[in-house]
Structure 1
Amino acid sequence: MQAQEVKLLKTLNTDVVKDITGFQLCSYLVALEGWRRGLELKWYRDETNLCKLDTNNKSTHGKFFSLSNGNKLHYFFRSRGDKVTNKTVKICKNKEDTKALFKQSNVPIPRGKTLETDENIINYANEIGYPVIIKPTSGSMGQGVYTNISNEDELIGILKELRSKYSFHEYIVEKHYDGNEYRIYVVDDKAIGATNRIPANIVGDGVNTVEKLIEIKNNERKKNPYLARKPIKVDYEVTYMLERAGYKLDSIPEKNEELFLREKSNLSAGGDPIEATDELSDEVKQIAVDALKALPSIPHAGVDIIVDPADNRKGVVLEANATAEIGFHLFPLVGEARDVAGAIIDYYFPETIEKNKSSFYFDYLSMLEPLKKNAVDEIKAIQTPMEEMHAKKYIVTGKVIKVSYMSYIKREALRNNIFGYIKKLSNNQVEILALGSDKEIVDGFYRFVKKGSKKSVIKNIEEQDLIHSDEPRKTGFQIITS
């Protein structure tokens, strides 16, 4: 799976989301989309009283924000907006309640039952026949989920592991269904993106051990903004899967031999997100839409479906996630990015659908610092630069390093509402990019480039007019020394 197999959105590359990971990535993607359309964006301090959205007692820092067009205002927690009710969030957390509502609306679901004791779990598994799946009724992120359990001895070993590792009391035992598993994100009666989540795996090269191949795979995952902090971790399930396949950590798989390290496909457990929207049938997409319709007041969410390998028009719904991660739809490991964040903003602010969108982005992590330190209760992002932008580039040669020239240029740029950067090219040369909506001010910035700081000596300036493209640019003015 090589980088060239990925096609990202033109205005949303890896630089835009640099160092933003986890649930904050979901928050930033939705907030950025709204901000780029000219909506007013505010971020709020952790555990603010303004947050009425169910957060499952998790920190709201960098994940709770509002967007407003001046006439209406909506609050968001991660990818979920305030049109998704807390009642539905609670239903989705309880897999048994969710399944009951699916069943009432004839949404296809796996055969299963909620049980507490090991004895009842084992007896029911024997009754419905192996292979089976076991998962906690209130778990998330794949915690405590084991799939494709093939016999009673395996189930007993897994139950011992679950009881020692987790404090869940109730577990759902379901019939295991073969087929690819997909996370389908639905917004307002439409399947916007679908991801085939492949369980954690490695491919042998005939040279490296399993342990080394896992390390190599994890290094590759670090290059993907969504997967950067979701490595494959060697645990009971991984060693169990290896043993079942006749391997150990120090084994050397044959070249091109694929080894699966988990049964469950959760991306947080090392799974691979493969974009698959176009390969799904309309019937399966409709099943995902119908699943949300079966639940009260949930216009957008992620739906997990296993597609029948014998008939791609059929599938069973595993669950719905009301606060689903969306980062992998925009940063897949393979495939073309799907603009889930854009679809969410379309739903909440339909009047912005045809509006011009800025390609600028803001420094999210720096903006959050005062909130993190409890210095303020809320922060409003600067207005999106929506006007036509003019651009100049300068290559300046002379005594310009360690003489305050770079800080001088930044200071004057900020005073004149100029965006861009000054970048060190060598010990006697810098590059300056100046962007602004006022052509006269941009053209006039030359005098500051030429004047410089008191200790600087300008020997030569190469000036170039640029056509400002929709390439993503950060607001503010940066000093780049490396």
Structure 2
Amino acid sequence: MKTQQVELLPTLTKEAVNDVTGYQLCGYLIALEGWRRGLELKWYRDESSLCKLHRMFSSTHGKFYSLSNGDTLHYFYRSRGDKVANKSVTICLDKEKTKSFLEQGNVPVPKGKTLETDESIIDYANEIGYPVIIKPLKGSMGKGVYTNIDNEAELTAVLKELRNSYSYSQYIVEKHYDGKEYRVYVVGDKVIGATNRIPANVVGDGINTIEKLIELKNNERKKNPYLATKPIEVDYEVNSMLKSVGYTVDSIPAKDEQVFLREKSNLSTGGDPIEATDELTDEVKQIAVDALKALPSLPHAGLDIIVNPEDNRKGVVLEINGTAEIGFHLFPLEGKAKDVPGAIMDYYFPETIGKEKSNFYFDYLCMLEPLKKYAVDEMKVIRTPAINMYAKKYTVTGKVNQVGYLGFIKRQALKNDLFGHAKKINKNTVEVYLIGEEKEVLDTFKKTVEKGNKKSSVENVEEQDLVYTNEPRKTGFQVITKTNRR
């Protein structure tokens, strides 16, 4: 498969978000940004009475948190902060209401109507002319959305599938608009990131079947923190799409032939997120900003927009998501990551703008365990490590492996508020790497290293002062064996 060119934020490595997926990724990314700026971070148990934010019938576990600078406290649910009104979130859940607000704000939207019966849907589609789009009035994540429907027969088949697969009663029928579709994230008066979402597709190599190419692409998606839980699944739409071009999943496309598997571009159903902020004209960016202003108290959100292929200064807004996912802006399949969490923190805590940040990250999933088990109501993350730290390495030889020495060093390091690791080098050698705010504590720790625990026997200790670099690293102290990776 073709390797895509991706430029991630240097302070947000894949290790920093290891095993964090789905909606939890949104909350974690913003919480981490605030915590790195020195803000106090707390996470709350599921269904906490403190959560006044519209959670859209979803669990709050791992998604509800607060950030405070000591004077100001803000609550967040996923990517949404408490400056976003619940009223606007509710409006965004209803595409027809959203469209009404946008029209009142002179924001361009597609021509369409909400209908219930198959007969009325078909009649209206024939009235406005094909191609058309059909989508549930109160749907999300691209479920039940079909685009570029070319004729009445195709629409009839789609309606049959919708009635068999979903329980939605009302659907929006809209005129289909050609052009690139973008998911745009706006904070205040500025577009922070824009992603061109390309429908699920595979590129032929002249050897493998489409089914195998899908498998290979899904393996690649698993390597992307955002896309890992969003594989391409072969369903009615995929089979129908392939049939329309004379293919099945057993077909073998020619080398470099791109085969589209869906019309809709939702990332949750296999679409590709390509960073494309610089593609948008100032006029289209202003449309995005104006769209948020058309709703009451919606200072930051994501929205979908299609740009006119004949005039890139024009576009239509399809919908707005008040609790939009942001992970793909940080982990695109191609392009340069956009710092949406940074922009949101700038908006809520402007006094932290330009402040030098720690690049440590915390063990998010481990921290959530007590909350998940209802052992506690809230969890406060440890104080943000200082920016300027000291580092030291001790290389220890002797009887120091498989005698409890590594665990002993970890316990003592944690007691002294030190970060780092104790790593097995070989049968008789251990590396102790320490980071701390006070150089004296690191220096005196040598006595602990030399003494060891009861079963160990230290023969020699080599000491080395290191230059501390503020690179991304995990809080706490890790024990590393040959089978572990740092």
Q: TM-score range by the shorter chain?
A: over 0.9
Which residue in 2 is equivalent to 1:139? Answer: 139
Verify the 8 A CA contact 1:40 1:68 in the aligned structure 2.
yes
1:406 is paired with a residue whose SS is helix
User: Are 2:135 and 2:173, in contact at CA under 8 Å, matched by a contact in 1?
Assistant: yes
Following the alignment from structure 1 to structure 2, what is the Cα–Cα distance between the partners of residues 339 and 120? Answer: 45
Pair 1:71-2:71 in alignment: yes
Q: 1:344 maps to what in 2?
A: 344
CA distance in 2, matches of 1:334, 1:223: 13
Report the identity percentage. 71
Q: Report whether the alignment pairs 1:55 with 2:55.
A: yes
Cα distance in 1 for partners of 2:475, 2:460 equals 28
Query: RMSD between aligned alpha carbons?
Result: 1.3
Query: How does 1:180-329 map onto structure 2 within 5 Å?
Result: 180-329=180-329
TM-score by length of 2: 0.97
Distance 1:278 1:395, change over 3 A: farther
Show structure 1 runs of 5+ residues with no match. Answer: none
Measure the CA separation in 2 of the matches of 1:398 and 1:151: 79
Give CA deviations for 1:172-192 in whole Å, capped at 9, x if unaligned: 001111111101100011000
> What's the offset of the Cα at 1:416?
0.8
| Amino acid corresponding to residue 184 of structure 2 in structure 1 | I
Question: What do the CA deviations read for 1:100-137 (whole angstroms, capped 9, x no partner)?
Answer: 11111111111111100001111111111111100001
From the superposition, tell whether residues 424 and 155 of structure 1 become closer, same or farther in structure 2 (CA, over 3 Å): farther
Pairing 1:102-181 to 2, within 5 Å after superposition: 102-181=102-181
Residues 206 and 425 of structure 1: is their aligned pair in 2 closer, same or farther, counting only changes over 3 Å? farther
The farther-off stretch of 243-252 and 76-85 is 243-252
- 2:246 and 2:279 map into 1 onto residues whose CA distance is 34
Q: In structure 1, how many angstroms separate the alpha carbons of the residues matched to 2:436 and 2:427? A: 28
Q: Summarize the Cα distance change of 1:412–1:378 in structure 2 as closer, same or farther, 3 Å threshold.
A: same
| Residue 396 of structure 1, CA deviation | 3.1
Moved over 6 A (4+): none
**Per-residue displacement from partner, 1:406-451 (whole Å, max 9, x unpaired)?**
1011011001110011223333333322000001111222222232
- Please give the secondary structure, in 2, of the residue aligned with 1:298: coil
Could you tell me which residue of structure 2 aligns to residue 423 of structure 1? Answer: 423
Aligned CA distance change for structure 1 residues 438 and 302 (closer, same or farther; 3 Å): same
Q: Look up the equivalent residue of 1:58 and give its one-letter code.
A: S
The residue aligned with 1:375 is 375
Question: Does structure 1 conserve the Cα–Cα contact (< 8 Å) formed by 2:356 and 2:387?
Answer: no
Instruction: Return the offset for 1:354.
Output: 2.5
Counterpart AA for 1:406? L
Partner of 1:27: 27
Q: CA 1:255 to 1:429, structure 2 compared with 1: closer, same or farther past 3 Å?
A: farther
Q: In the comparison of the two structures, how many residue pairs are matched?
A: 482
Find the aligned partners of 2:249 and 2:280 in 1 and give their Cα distance: 36
State the Cα deviation string for residues 189-244 of structure 1 (Å, max 9, x = none).
Answer: 10001111111110011111111100000000000000010000111111111111
Aligned to 1:440: 440
Instruction: Provide the residue aligned with 1:479 in structure 2.
Output: 479
User: 2-side partners of 1:381 and 1:466: how far apart?
Assistant: 27
Shift of 1:167: 0.7
| DSSP-derived class of the 1:66 partner | strand
Q: Which amino acid aligns with 2:137?
A: T
Asked if structure 1 preserves the Cα contact closer than 8 Å seen for 2:436 and 2:442, the reply is: yes
Counterparts of 1:286 and 1:68, CA distance in 2? 32
Give the whole-Å Cα distance in 1 for the aligned partners of 2:449 and 2:199: 54
- Scaled by the length of structure 1, what TM-score is found? 0.98
**Superposed displacement of residue 387, structure 1:** 4.3
Distance in 1, matches of 2:431 and 2:275, equals: 38
The separation in 2 between residues aligned to 1:417 and 1:60, in whole angstroms, is 31
Looking at structure 2, the residues matched to 46 and 120 of structure 1 have their Cα atoms a distance apart, in angstroms, of: 43
Give the conservation status (yes or no) of the 8 Å contact 1:11–1:470: no
**What is the identity, as a one-letter code, of the residue corresponding to 1:288?**
A
**Which amino acid counterpart does residue 439 of structure 2 have in structure 1?**
K
SS of residue in 2 equivalent to 1:191 = strand
Report the secondary structure of 2:382's partner residue: coil
| SS of match in other structure, 1:122 | helix
